[in-house]
Amino acid sequence: MPDEDRTAYQRLRAAHLSAVRAALDDHVARLDRPRAAIERHRTERLRALLGWARERSPFHAARMGEVDPATASVADLARLPVMTKAQAQEEWDAIVTIPGLDRAGAERVLAEQRWFSYTPQGHQVFSSGGSSGVRGVYVWDWEQYVTLACLAWRWQVRADRATGVDGPARLAVLSAGGPPHASTPLFDVATDASTQTVVIPAAAPFDDVVKAVADARPTALVGYASVIGRLARASLAGELDVRPLRVSTNSEPLTEEDRTAIGAAWGAPVHNLWGSTEIGVQAVGCGVGDGLHISDDEVILERVDADGRPVGPDEPAARTLATGLAGRTFPFVRYDLGDEVTLLPGTCPCGSAMPRVAAVAGRRDDDFRYGGLLVPASAFRYVLGTDPRISEYQVHQTPGGADVLVVGSPDLPAVTTALVEALRPYGLSDAAITVRTVDRIPRHASTGKLSRFKPL
């Protein structure tokens, strides 16, 4: 690509990152504010969002009915219908709130940009297949990006300040690398102007990833959970000599085996992030207590039943709805994330009053259906994710079982038998399972993510 494209982007991005660093102090301070103060802040943010969306978005105006944005509360959201993934893409032009911006224009940006770019109005346009595999087009405005970057990094900054560390000196970012995915702009963030960052494409051959990380000598690692987990195992095997002081995982579920490997390899605090291109950053781990702290000042999460009605904190939920308070250009209000979360009781040892959810193990889309039977992805993870001789895996559903690809040197007959037994309690009495080793499991061409489960 021409150097001028990258240079022009970097000039404006430098200004954007300065805005992020200027806003970080306030965002870090919010983590230790009393619960009542956070709720007041959230209510006013919600009213501002709803008021803007009602006036500027025909789609949202039609949904609001008798809800008055000027007096609305979090409880009033239950009076609005659920917003779905299909609606977000099919009703794009009725949702976007900026005159002159439409789906066709957003697609032109994606088609014509030769590197990440800003529109003349300062917007950024991204595309993602997401965990569901359905392509989506999203737009972030200037202030929204500032907020989302602060949400992604404030827990790490808080922890560094508490331990007397000014900030990571060298940050290695393992992400999609290039456009149109949002992960690189969001995670390639130097929270201190002196921090050096290097972006390493997660979809590159793993030997190349190991060499790039070794050359970077990072004091902090951020990126796809499965890649960092595999790097930790490489470190344990003596194939990688790095000593990160802090690890941040995102974009994929952080499995227990990956978390264990990270702890054994480096003993570094892990800040796991649960996010989406639509909402941005729903929750982040503090690196001290269990679970993830909800970004409760900028995101409203509703655990609901199958009909979209809120359920109590101790009741099971069918799905989770999210309202992103920072997204005014393309508002997501009561948006169905496709994830199920469980609230954690009590106060976190880190001292923050921000509520917590248990680590998100994956989306409902990862589960396999065989006629009337439902087999959760965890049945496969329990076997494949705990075998120390398997570094990566991918499960392809078949009509009567699954074809499984693994990287490593496991005992294939033993793994096959264990999977057959693991599926038996879910009604598959004699599942047809095949397991074979491969040198590499391809990642998504544009996002760099590893899709572990492929349904029929």
The domain limits of the chain are 367-454
What sign does the dihedral 309-79-148-139 (CA atoms) show?
positive
Half-sphere exposure of 269 (CA within 13 A, CB side): 19
Asked whether the beta carbons of 174 and 224 are under 8 A apart, the reply is: yes
Q: Which two tokens stand for residue 166?
A: 């000014």
DSSP 434: E
pLDDT value of residue 378: 67
CA distance 262 to 270: 8
| SS3 (DSSP) at 389 | coil
**DSSP string spanning 189-231?**
--SSTT-EEEEEETTS-HHHHHHHHHHH--SEEEEEHHHHHHH
Asked whether the beta carbons of 358 and 168 are under 8 A apart, the reply is: no
Half-sphere exposure of 369 (CA within 13 A, CB side): 4
Write out pLDDT tens, residues 116-175.
999 999 999 998 754 444 568 899 999 999 999 999 999 999 999 998 876 568 999 998
Torsions phi, psi for 189 (to 5 deg): -125, 115
pLDDT value of residue 332: 98
Other CB atoms within a 10 A radius of the CB of residue 264 amount to: 12
Give 236: exposed, middle or buried? Use CB within 10 Å, 0-12, 13-18, 19+: middle
Write out pLDDT tens, residues 303-342.
998 888 888 888 888 889 999 999 999 999 999 987 888 8
Choosing among 3.90.480.20, 3.30.70.20, 3.30.300.30, 3.40.190.10, the CATH entry for 367-454 is 3.30.300.30
Write out pLDDT tens, residues 211-241.
999 999 999 999 988 889 999 999 999 999 9
CA distance 163 to 165: 6
CA distance 269 to 406: 28
Alpha helices in 57-126 (DSSP H): 58-64, 85-90, 92-95, 103-112
Per-residue pLDDT of the chain (456 residues; tens, 9 = 90+): 457 778 989 999 999 999 999 999 999 999 999 999 999 999 999 999 999 999 999 999 999 999 999 999 999 999 999 999 889 989 999 999 999 999 999 989 988 988 999 999 999 999 875 444 456 889 999 999 999 999 999 999 999 999 887 656 899 999 877 888 888 999 999 999 899 999 998 877 889 999 999 999 999 999 988 889 999 999 999 999 999 999 999 987 888 888 999 999 999 999 999 999 999 999 999 999 999 999 999 999 999 988 888 888 888 888 899 999 999 999 999 999 878 888 999 999 999 999 999 977 555 557 788 998 878 776 787 688 657 688 788 999 999 999 999 988 999 999 999 999 888 877 898 999 999 999 988 876 555 667 788 888
Show the beta-strand stretches assigned E in 311-429: 319-324, 335-336, 343-344, 356-357, 368-370, 373-375, 390-398, 401-408
pLDDT value of residue 397: 95
CA distance 303 to 398: 32
